[in-house]
């Protein structure tokens, strides 16, 4: 996959803007949270930690945005990735084995939206935040979820994580205390349209009371792929300290109140990332968002074998170029057979392109 990306993607970097990821205190909380995520996975989920270490930059494609920076979360977690601009998406040959993450606001043109739809249909995994609900998810996958029309205030709400064995929710909380979720001014609450196909992973009773709908994180399948969308952002930029437990120093909180294993607690003792102003409430909230991102990366990497198996047929004799235009299928191209009719086979490539070819081509 590295060879594929070397000719397609332009890796870009962005300077950190003052205040972009919150004040210095919140930046320290996010750094401390990433330390907990990495150490907890190493101690309690070593197989998953090894999966993260094997992620290549080609496995994760981040579409940069104006109001969110998941690339900073990935960098802090030491997860390799590639960054592209929104206007590049329509021309990318995204591969069904990849994870595509779209930062808010997700301003993609029509070609970009169609590329995203084909990518997910082929088996790709899409992860989006906030305004990308309206700008990407609703446009590419109508009928599943939508913006409910009641934009939030600059707010923090308590969230409830679904009791489930879903791997996306593994180790999402540090203790029995519910984490808080930051909502930037004008964040988009999520309304469920298809209750049979959309799985709500995280909810907030406060969110429902204030803004009409409870979902914070939702997941659904489309074609051979998956979509995960969360309200607000990947990276905690603000929080509120509401309880005595929230105000506790993070070092004491980790040792005394969390459900971490003894080996994880031991490994975190004396870590310099847990400065005195990093309190439990900030740490647990930042941790939840970062752990979910790590879980998604792990699950996508594990799922690549399933995607490989879907495309088990190969073009053995190059078929004629399609009369309506488009790229010809070269010998060796891996495809999934969709249907057969009158000596023709409808196939789909791992890039999501579909066409009819003579059965003798396979």
CA distances, 359 to each of 182, 332, 355 (Å):
54, 15, 12
Task: Give pLDDT tens digits for 248-301.
Answer: 888 888 998 899 999 999 999 888 788 777 888 788 878 888 898 999 999 999
Model pLDDT for residues 331-342, shown as the tens digit of each residue: 999 999 999 999
Q: What share of the chain is helix, strand, coil (3-state, %, to 5)?
A: 35, 20, 45
Tell me the pLDDT tens digit for each residue of 21-54: 456 777 788 888 899 999 999 999 999 999 999 9
- What pLDDT, on the 0 to 100 scale, is given for residue 17? 30
pLDDT at 282: 80
Higher pLDDT, 147 or 9: 147
pLDDT in tens, 204-237: 999 999 999 999 999 999 999 999 999 876 545 4
Instruction: Please enumerate in sequence order all residues whose Cβ is within 8 A of that of 256, keeping only pairs 6 or more positions apart, or say none.
Output: none
What count of residues does the chain have? 362
Residue at token pair 């990332």: 273
Sorted by where each starts, the structural domains of the chain and their CATH numbers stand as 2-309 (3.40.50.880), 313-361 (2.30.30)
Helix, coil or strand: residue 126:
strand
């Amino acid at each position: 996959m590295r060879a594929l990306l070397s000719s397609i993607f332009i890796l870009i970097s962005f300077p950190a803007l003052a205040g972009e990821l919150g004040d210095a205190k919140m930046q320290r909380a996010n750094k401390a949270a990433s330390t907990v995520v990495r150490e907890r996975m190493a101690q309690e989920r070593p197989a998953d930690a090894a999966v993260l270490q094997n992620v290549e930059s080609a496995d994760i494609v981040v579409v940069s945005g104006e109001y969110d920076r998941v690339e900073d979360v990935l960098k802090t977690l030491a997860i390799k990735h590639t960054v592209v601009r929104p206007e590049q998406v329509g021309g990318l040959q995204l591969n069904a084995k990849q994870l595509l993450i779209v930062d808010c606001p997700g301003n993609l043109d029509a070609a970009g939206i169609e590329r995203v739809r084909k990518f997910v249909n082929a088996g790709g995994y899409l992860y989006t935040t906030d305004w990308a609900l309206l700008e990407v998810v609703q446009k590419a996958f109508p009928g599943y979820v939508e913006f409910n029309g009641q934009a939030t205030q600059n707010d923090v709400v308590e969230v409830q994580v679904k009791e489930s064995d879903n791997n996306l929710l593994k180790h999402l909380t540090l203790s029995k205390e519910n984490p808080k979720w930051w909502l930037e001014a004008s964040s988009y609450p999520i309304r469920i349209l298809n209750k049979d196909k959309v799985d709500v992973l995280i909810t907030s009773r406060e969110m429902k009371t204030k803004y009409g709908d409870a979902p914070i994180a939702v997941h659904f399948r489309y074609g051979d792929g998956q979509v995960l969308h969360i309200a607000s952002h990947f990276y905690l930029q603000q929080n509120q300290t509401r309880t005595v437990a929230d105000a506790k120093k993070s070092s004491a909180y980790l040792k005394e109140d969390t459900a971490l294993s003894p080996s994880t607690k031991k490994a975190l003792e004396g870590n310099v990332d847990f400065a005195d102003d990093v309190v439990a409430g900030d740490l647990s909230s930042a941790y939840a968002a970062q752990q979910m991102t790590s879980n998604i990366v792990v699950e996508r990497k594990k799922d690549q074998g399933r995607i490989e198996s879907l495309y088990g047929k190969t073009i053995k004799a190059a078929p004629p170029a399609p009369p309506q235009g488009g790229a010809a299928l070269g010998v060796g191209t891996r495809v999934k057979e969709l249907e057969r009719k009158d000596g023709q086979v409808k196939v789909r490539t791992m890039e999501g392109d579909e066409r009819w070819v003579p059965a003798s081509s396979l």
